[in-house]
């Protein structure tokens, strides 16, 4: 019985910890690098969500630095399949889409899809609302999760070098 309890506790902790791997956890250096690169981004995160919908239902999105270059990455789902869609941050067009196969990314995508399955509002709507409520800020990421059984989106915002994260209800 004790082994079962310990195993269950480990699984619950792992379930909540793994999706955080894809969440925005920037350090000061990453913040500064991304803030600088975002000045070249012509399209808002919300437009990236709209563009990626051709590849499936958007379940999360973030601007990130990949190999020293700015990229807008959107996770999507179509049926039981998950993809990472890269949207060109200047044109707003899909640059590439690839199946998600890495274990940690796949676990994060599954958790995000569970939250979005209960959502009545889109990530685009949540990000737009967060930007509207925070004048002068732009959305850098939108990550859904379940909190107390309810879907919410944590929207990371930036204005100059100021960062903040706000939660938007999705139900």
Q: State the residue range of the domain holding 39.
A: 2-169
- pLDDT of amino acid 19: 42
Structure tokens at 80: 């039981």
* pLDDT interval class at 8 (50, 70, 90): very low
Query: What is the token pair recorded at 46?
Result: 């919300």
| pLDDT value for 11 | 41
* pLDDT digit string, tens, across residues 46-91: 999 999 999 999 999 999 999 999 999 999 999 999 999 999 999 9
Residue carrying the six token digits 């399949």: 81
CATH number at residue 113: 3.10.450.40
**In which element (H, E) is residue 108 found?**
helix 103-117
Asked if residue 3 has pLDDT above 70, the reply is: no
**Per-residue pLDDT at 22:** 42
- Helix, strand, coil percent content, the chain, rounded in steps of 5: 40, 35, 25
In this predicted structure, what is the pLDDT of residue 30?
A: 83
DSSP state of 134: S
d(CA 76, CA 47): 14
Q: What is the pLDDT of residue 20?
A: 40
The total domain count for the chain is 1
At 93-145, the pLDDT tens digits run: 999 999 999 999 999 999 999 999 999 999 999 999 999 999 999 999 999 99
């Amino acid at each position: 019985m004790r082994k079962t309890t310990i195993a269950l506790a480990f699984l619950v902790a792992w379930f909540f910890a793994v999706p955080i791997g894809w969440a925005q956890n920037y350090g000061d250096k990453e913040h500064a690098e991304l803030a600088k690169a975002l000045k070249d981004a012509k399209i808002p995160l919300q437009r990236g969500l709209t563009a990626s919908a051709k590849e499936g239902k958007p379940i999360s999105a973030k601007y990130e630095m990949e190999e020293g270059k700015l990229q807008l990455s959107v996770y999507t789902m179509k049926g039981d399949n998950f993809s990472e869609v890269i949207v060109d941050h200047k044109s707003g067009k899909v640059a590439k889409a690839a199946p998600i196969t890495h274990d940690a990314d796949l676990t994060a995508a599954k958790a995000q899809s569970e939250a979005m399955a209960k959502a009545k509002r889109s990530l685009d709507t949540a990000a737009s609302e967060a930007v509207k409520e925070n004048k002068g800020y732009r959305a850098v990421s939108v990550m859904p999760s379940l909190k107390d059984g309810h879907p919410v989106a944590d929207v990371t915002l930036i204005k100059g070098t100021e960062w903040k994260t706000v939660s938007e209800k999705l139900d």
